[in-house]
A and B are shown apart, each in its own frame.
Chain A
Amino acid sequence: MKLRIRFTKEGPVRFVGHLDFMRFMQRVLKKSGLDVVYTGGFNPHMILSFAAPLGVGEETVGDYADVEVAYRDPFPLNPNEIYMMRDHGLQNDELPPAPPAADMLTMLNQASCEGVTFTDITRIGQLRESNAMAIVRYASWDIALADTFLAGRSVEEMAAAVMEKETIPFRKVTKKADKTVDIRPLIVSVSAPEQEGKVIPGMSRHLLLTCAAGSSQNLKPATVLEALAADFGQDFDPYGFRLLRTELYADGLVPLGKIGEELV
């Protein structure tokens, strides 16, 4: 059975890079006692994939990982799915039933460290088209702004400055190329939060952003802030904000966790 697990990564652990975090997740899965399926061959590894990497220093309360576990899938499988399981040497009827979803979450949380919490678990089946990494299109961010960052500007002002524009040209300079791209089509919304955000000393303003994420099109929140700074004619401080990812979506802004079947 393939599971999609929703997790958080908050606090000090935000400084763990993506590759190291993937290793950490493998440890947690192993330690949890869940029966995870491995690939064959001389170098077996867990069948585990992440929806989208997080940068060093970024937090999340809504990221997803897909993992194959050796439990009986209670949902009907199509022939293609049965074939895929057989690929890993598994026969659905012969597998034991999975522990209840709440128990699986408890097992994971007990194995984990502070700041990495598992909050939801769904069954997504074996279909390639449901793979988190392949279907992620958008991400929502809660950006905490240092009081010195774009000082004197309100969050409403910033939201308006983005939302009112039809195009936002942004000059990208890399080692290979120097080109100007329009980032406006990649932005879904920028707004002021309705509720109080996380309290971080020296960062009293929060800005909400929903923008493209994933392998086909991707926009870094920092790029939006840099464009804003340019628009306001102010300096851009690359350390003047903290990023918290709040959700990942597939096409049509459907959260990834709403795609599979609920487990009891």
Chain B
Amino acid sequence: MREPVLSDRILLSVEKPARYIGNELNSVQKDKDKVDIRFAMCFPDVYEIGMSHLGIQIIYEQLNRRADTWCERVYSPWPDLADIMKKEHIPLFALESQEPVRNFDWLGITLQYELCYTNVLQVLDLAGIPFLAAEREDGCPIVMGGGPCTYNPEPIAPFFDLFYIGESETVMDDLMDLYKAMKRDGYTRNEFIHRAAVTIPGIYAPNLYEIAYDEDGFITERKPLYDDLPKTVSRQVCTDMTHAVYPEKPLVGFIRPTQDRVVLEIQRGCIRGCRFCQAGMIYRPLRERSLEVLEKYAAEMLKETGQEEISLSSLSSSDYRRLPELLDFLIQTCDKEHVNISLPSLRIDNFSLDIMKKVQDVRKSSLTFAPEAGTQRLRDVINKGLTEEEIIGGADEAFRGGWNKVKLYFMLGLPTETDEDRKGIAHLAEAITEDYFDAVPKEKRMGSVDITVSTSFFVPKPFTPLQWTSMHHPQEYIDMAHTVRNEIRSQRNQKRIHYKWHEADGTELEGIFARGDRRIAPAIVWSYEHGAVFDAWTDYFNYQIWLDAFKACGIDTDFYTVRKRSTDEPLPWDFIDVGVSKRFMVREWEKATGAEAAKGIFRERVIPPANEYEKERVVIDQVTNPRVTTPNCREACSGCGSLCYGTGVCYEKRTAGYDPTKRHPVYENSVVQKTHADGEAHSVTTAQEREADT
């Protein structure tokens, strides 16, 4: 039995000592003398958050299947322990072996949100690894980043030796094989980093490139230090989800993780094409897992963990074509086993409400809608394929089904947004509230209707059509929230509508990181050294430190936030090829912000009198504008470019004889080195075909 490296005295004096002891159900122990590679996989946030993350579980499984590798976990120590570790010079350790991370071969860090960047520095600091990759010497672990934030890794580029752009199921093994061989043959750290970046697709060594800027602050050149380095890095895509590695024995924490359940990833990617959504773009194309393998995983995972809840994971579960069969299977299995099913990201319709009634207690649960914007015009701009009719219709069905708590999520600060759109949020909430009284007769009402409206401020993300959006200053954001609040207060049913909004300071910082470049990095170091850490936690977030940091480092934050960007300016993340082409993004951006998008389309609707005492009523509905929106991938292909991966939704239901591989070079094993021109050529034809069809 491995005793904790921390003494009883320390463990008994910190909050939740079980965060630091390892030894959880299904954690992996190996003999360190019998492995060639020690890999520390880190989620730079507290244990409960990190343990909820599926990606790490996949990598943990994938690496530990290798006999030559031992993958262990590392999470950010909570500030109480971090202080003790610094004071007593206790190096950061991995949970399984309780040994210092500094002695490992690899430190992999998943970057799930921008506000964890100071936690990355905390991890490096406690581990005793220099912040700057350039200062690391042989024997120091290779620090590699992965996850959504690597789609613009530039603000944190100096801290990482490598970034892994894409999905772990693809080239991770190649990378480990290369490392093992080069370690055996006595190559240096730098030689390995260089070789990995040259030979393994998707691997980016940021510090082997120099960036030049012009006097206006724009990037003029990315100069590789070696001639053999690739100019672009292509995202690696898993082309066969059904046979990809999956954690059939997931870890089960002693203390309750935020998501305390077994997670079944039914598919990856999304067909919807919401223009604000980074995940909807960078995980294209939609790839489903087979029903059979999902049933097998579900049964296996429940058996191996003893968990009492299973959750389906995907960006939009309703788009999984065999959802009814899968749910039938789960309901049957879970009922026997006393397991709850949780169903996030379902479209609210009759089918999903039926299912929800079967799997959860209607009285206790609330339903969540994410209209994202208050008017149809603005929903069209962001391509949220959801009409007012669908929202109110869904709420109506839900009320009739017995729910009376509804949550509504919106964003503020979207492009082209006006006060009209902000007030529309209040009007939509009011319309839903009023529908409750129509839908549920007085004698059937159980308690009263309870509508919660939450707004967050929109942060434009790289590789989305809205990546050129100008942000606002924190005070303007607060004003937007006040507009919504005041309008809600002036509604008839305002007492039944609760309004919550997010802080604006964190939004600004997130915006700076999301679209920043390498010149941001010194400010991150400065802030960490002046006490910033756990920025994603409201209790710890101190914006003043950041304001001071930007000042001290001479950074004009407006350049990254409120400045108006043009589509032809070079973006810091242009060197990454995510499959979805920039031309598609530009086209989407122009549709979203063009003249057509500025005006709404209205239609009169006549409501016949319900009885002889009523008069005929005329309501004006705002309807969706097909010239602004883009159809989802199953309705029509819009030629985004991800056809090049040769898999997923792009290849569903094609007419006989159609062979896209003839026109598009598709390489084996997801290593795709295509040019955008091909994707584009295709998009033109499909658009023409579509017009010809209609």
Contact = CB atoms under 8 A, between A and B. Distances in A.
Interface string B546-586: 00000000000000000000000000000000000000000
A242 B25 contact: no
B306 A42 contact: no
Given A11-B1, A15-B11, A113 B25 contact: yes
A16 interface: yes
Contacts of B303: 31
Which one of B3, B255, B337 has the greatest number of beta carbons of chain A within 10 Å?
B255
B1 A12 contact: yes
A12 B8 contact: no
Contact of A27 (B17, B21, B27, B307): B307
B537 interface: no
A44 B309 CA distance: 12
A29 interface: yes
Contacts of B8: 57, 239, 242
A12 B25 contact: no
A15 B256 contact: no
A261 interface: no
Nearest to A55: B12
B3 A12 contact: yes
A23 B256 CA distance: 9
B2 interface: yes
Contacts of B504: none
Contacts of A56: 12, 17
Nearest to B337: A30
B621 interface: no
B439 interface: no
Contacts of A113: 23-25, 27
Contacts of A23: 256
Contacts of B137: none
Contacts of A242: 8
A31 B21 contact: no
Contacts of B364: 42
Contact of A42 (B2, B255, B361): B361
Contact of A11 (B11, B23, B252, B361): B23
A13 B23 contact: yes
B304 interface: yes
Interface in B604-641: none
A13 B21 contact: yes
Contacts of A97: none
A249 B218 CA distance: 76
Given A27-B306, A57-B12, A242-B8, A11 B254 contact: no
A239 B304 CA distance: 37
Nearest to B13: A239
Contacts of A114: 1, 23
B301 to A, nearest CB: 11
A38 interface: yes
B4 interface: yes
Interface in A1-52: 10-13, 15-17, 20-21, 23-24, 26-32, 38, 42-44
B9 A15 contact: no
A53 interface: no
Interface in A109-166: 111, 113-115
A114 B29 CA distance: 11
B21 A15 contact: yes
B308 interface: yes
Interface string B376-400: 0000000000000000000000000
Given A56-B17, A57-B12, A115-B1, A26 B23 contact: no
Interface string A87-121: 00000000000000000000000010111000000
Most chain A CB inside 10 Å of its own CB: which residue of B303, B307, B338, B361: B338
A12 B306 contact: no
A38 B338 CA distance: 8
Q: Which of the listed residues B21, B305, B364 has the most CB atoms from chain A within 10 Å of its own CB?
A: B21
A27 B25 contact: yes
B331 interface: no
A182 to B, nearest CB: 28
Contact of A24 (B4, B21, B254): B254
B247 to A, nearest CB: 15
Nearest to B304: A31
Contact of B22 (A12, A24, A28, A239): A12
Contacts of B9: 239
B224 to A, nearest CB: 47
Interface in A50-85: 56-57
B18 interface: yes
Nearest to A13: B23
Interface string B336-378: 0110000000000000000000000100100000000000000
Contacts of B22: 12
A11 B1 CA distance: 7
Given A38-B338, A44-B338, A12 B2 contact: yes
Given A13-B21, A15-B11, A26-B306, 15 more contacts: A11-B3, A12-B22, A16-B21, A17-B255, A20-B254, A20-B255, A27-B307, A28-B306, A30-B307, A31-B306, A43-B361, A57-B8, A111-B306, A113-B24, A239-B9
6 contacts: A15-B11, A27-B306, A29-B306, A38-B338, A57-B11, A113-B23
Nearest first, the 4 A-B pairs at minimum CB distance are A30-B306, A31-B306, A27-B306, A12-B21
Interface of A: 10-13, 15-17, 20-21, 23-24, 26-32, 38, 42-44, 56-57, 111, 113-115, 239, 242
Interface of B: 1-4, 8-9, 11-13, 17-18, 20-25, 27, 252, 254-256, 303-308, 337-338, 361, 364
